[in-house]
Amino acid sequence: MELTSIYLFFSLLPQKESLDGEFVSKTLKRSTLIEVHTPQVCSVDDLTEGFVRVEKENLEVTDDVSIIELLGKKVKVTRGEYTNIKVTTPEDIDVAEAILRDRA
């Protein structure tokens, strides 16, 4: 199978639980879970095909790579850095500035 997509990932630090309503149904094994981050890299052809399918079948997706997963294609992961943050709020700018100051 041809590789067309990749995620950056980090090992999970906090414990994760699966819920059944208001109750914990299962404690998830951290060693098998990852937290994914941007950037995500995907083939334009795959994304186009996936977006058509998502719209046609009214599917719910969380991000671009989840669309690739819907197509049954493999998604590779590579370890990222915790300092690779997504800047979306004013507070994120403060964090980014602190990271840059630390690296100077």
CB 45 within 8 A of CB 52: no
pLDDT of residue 10: 76
User: Pairing between strand 5-11 and 23-27?
Assistant: unpaired
Q: In angstroms, rounded to a whole number, what is the distance separating the alpha carbons of residues 22 and 30?
A: 21
**Residue type at 27 in one-letter notation:** T
CB-side exposure of 10: number of CA atoms within 13 Å?
A: 13
Per-residue confidence of the chain (104 residues) as pLDDT tens digits?
677 787 777 777 777 778 788 888 888 888 888 888 777 888 899 999 999 999 999 999 988 889 999 999 988 888 888 888 888 899 999 999 999 999 98
pTM given for the model:
0.62
